[in-house]
Amino acid sequence: MAILGSFGSATIAATGIFPPWVVAGLAAVPGVAVIILQRFSFYRRSRFHRIMQVKVEKLIRSIKYEGANPSDISEQYSDLLLEMEPMYPGHGLEGFSEVSTEKNWPGKTRPKKEF
């Protein structure tokens, strides 16, 4: 989308057949797309949710197929939520650069903001 907007605005600017406000609007598309992608961290969030899904499914399978005690699984689920919460990529560019593999998680917490 960003590449098409850039190409389109350059082509329209070269032809001069559209008003300047149309050219300016198309020229803004690439920058807006980049800001949205960086601000909302779609890839990092999707990775976080996929990893969370796999870990929760593991707990469900342990009850369903291994006969695990539901109260033990409840405790493990609570521990999982506490472990995963600091890994959630928030809005903006601060925090972890990516949600990574299991080996990078133990003991890692999001840096505290100082005001």
Q: What is the DSSP string of 69-95?
A: -HHHHHHHHHHHHHHHGGGS--SSS-S
* Per-residue pLDDT reduced to its tens digit, 21-45: 888 887 888 888 888 877 878 888 8
Same domain, 97 and 78: yes
Structural domains counted in the chain: 2
34 Cβ contact partners less than 8 Å away, ≥ 6 residues apart: 2
Same domain, 64 and 98: yes
* Per-residue pLDDT reduced to its tens digit, 75-97: 999 999 999 988 888 765 554 44
Same domain, 100 and 49: yes
Same domain, 56 and 99: yes
Tokens found for residue 96? 């972890």
Same domain, 24 and 66: no
Residue 112 lies in a domain: no
* Per-residue pLDDT reduced to its tens digit, 53-72: 999 999 999 999 999 999 99
Same domain, 60 and 25: no
Same domain, 98 and 48: yes
The Cα 59–Cα 53 span in angstroms is 10
Backbone angle region of 80, left / alpha / beta, with phi > 0 → left and psi within -120 to 50 → alpha: alpha
Domain of residue 32, residue span = 2-40
